[in-house]
Structure 1
């Protein structure tokens, strides 16, 4: 392969909560990754794609500056960088290509357990330790309160106990870390998931062709995770009632059964949750052999 051949460059988290999910997504999209802990730039062996493995906080800037063509990053990190660049007058354009179904978390204000929280107004004039000051400031302005902040890149939870701040504004998952440090969550500032973003500048023809192949695969993997394949045997005279219970967006496929003139096989892709109650309703209509199976990939 010629080293001059254009290669699509994707930035992803080197290590952390998004790294494993990102690798899984890329592999489900058919990319053969050759990752090593010590290598920050890895080559995909079966497509002209390079993977740059960096800190999450670096990903938005790499895409906005055009160093990388794509990036997979949490919305909290993305919007914090966008707000910060806008404040400084720096380039902040990008395209949010796809919202992904992993990396979910919430960005919340937490106060010492003894603090009497009566509403957002009681936070006016207080000082907060945070890694995301721009998100906090946007929230404060939108709710008509004034806050101060001290910027910390780690160990944010300790700030109130050592007198650095009155409270904190940080990412929360289970709340166990807050509880262990004598804090309680009082207000949600921002809810985040991972996103696939693209640089704002147009890609060259060769890179655009690679992206046009990759994006349908990403969308197919996302759609497959939200869907189930349902198979069952149903009485032929109950097809209309069975179809109404199916949570799919497409018309069910009806197939004859060998030596069973009164029964048919029904197949459908369900894009909504398929509950036990629905299965019980189907059984009450005379259906049997009801199977609900996961889907790995979808296209078209």
Structure 2
């Protein structure tokens, strides 16, 4: 039975899946708020109707979202890139954009006490425990140079507390997600290989029913992401220094330049990446700019 047949009154709404808990949940709620999606989720309900758009939010385990989107039960969803690759659905979903949160690494880890294990190659033929069976088997089959059905490495599935497997004598190494690395270090492990750099991704079904609404969501998310990356920088400069200043701050497309009441001077308004801001301000000052101001951007559209 498809998911839509069990949900009342959603046939005219785009189904938007978000993780119901876990490391992506809070980020997703913040994103929904920032893109103007208004809803009221009742306690213990996994479906919420959006009041200001023809959308129904469906709260699902992050591990299931890629599969539902791939099969067409869900139109659009947010999940991790690691989950898409592990569920082997990348050919059946369209990736709209990477969202920049939930970043971590899927890594091969070995006990620090095992001085002989300094790379994933050193664990070939050994026991590996993970909740990412498909990605792990693929990686070790590549290291062995054989097909997965002929590999010697023993890959076993566990659903939680993967980091405890080596200490309990169940494995010689593990494959798990690493964010800060604190849990890994506390368990006496260290990373010896990175299989995948992952983050949250906005995906859709390739044959979805509501492409116009999906495009609206994509534009709104892009606006929020642009606002997170950029600030609006404003400054005054003598017209003869304008070319140099614009070379320092070219903006996303081009700076906005306006004439000032003071003859020979102009005002410039331009978007600057936050990570480059301090350096750009130093360069502008050396170029003769004055009254340099920085304003936060709440939202944007390209």
Q: Which residue of 2 aligns with 1:89?
A: none
Is the 1:247–1:274 contact (alpha carbons within 8 Å) kept by the matching residues of 2? no
| Separation of aligned partners in 1, 2:142 and 2:254 | 45
| Residue 202 of structure 1: how far off its partner (Å) | 3.8
| Separation of aligned partners in 2, 1:184 and 1:212 | 42
Q: Which residue of 2 aligns with 1:211?
A: 214
Q: Which residue of 2 aligns with 1:159?
A: 165
Q: Which residue of 2 aligns with 1:240?
A: 243
1:220/1:191 CA distance change after superposition, 3 Å: same
| Residue 251 of structure 1: how far off its partner (Å) | 1.9
Is the 1:70–1:198 contact (alpha carbons within 8 Å) kept by the matching residues of 2? yes
Please show how residues 39-78 of structure 1 align to structure 2 within 5 Å: 39-78=45-84
Gaps of 5+ in 2: 1-7, 146-150
Is the 1:229–1:267 contact (alpha carbons within 8 Å) kept by the matching residues of 2? yes
| Separation of aligned partners in 2, 1:33 and 1:72 | 17
1:4/1:130 CA distance change after superposition, 3 Å: closer
Q: Which residue of 2 aligns with 1:289?
A: 291
| Residue 191 of structure 1: how far off its partner (Å) | 0.6
| Separation of aligned partners in 2, 1:49 and 1:255 | 42
| Residue 197 of structure 1: how far off its partner (Å) | 1.1
Q: Which residue of 1 aligns with 2:257?
A: 254
* 1:96 maps to 2:126: no
- Say what the alpha-carbon RMSD is for the aligned residues: 2.1
Summarize deviations over 1:122-180 as a string: whole Å, max 9, x none. 12111111000111112223333642111111010111111111111000011111111
Q: Which residue of 1 aligns with 2:234?
A: 231
| Separation of aligned partners in 2, 1:41 and 1:244 | 50
Q: Which residue of 2 aligns with 1:114?
A: 113
Q: Which residue of 2 aligns with 1:132?
A: 132
> What SS class does the counterpart of residue 24 from structure 2 fall into?
helix
Summarize deviations over 1:47-102 as a string: whole Å, max 9, x none. 1101111111111121122221111000001110117xx9xxxxx62211222111
Gaps of 5+ in 1: 87-91
| Residue 283 of structure 1: how far off its partner (Å) | 0.9
| Separation of aligned partners in 1, 2:131 and 2:111 | 18
| Separation of aligned partners in 2, 1:56 and 1:186 | 27
Is the 1:63–1:71 contact (alpha carbons within 8 Å) kept by the matching residues of 2? yes
| Residue 37 of structure 1: how far off its partner (Å) | 4.2
| Separation of aligned partners in 2, 1:246 and 1:103 | 30
| Separation of aligned partners in 2, 1:202 and 1:256 | 49
| Residue 224 of structure 1: how far off its partner (Å) | 2.5
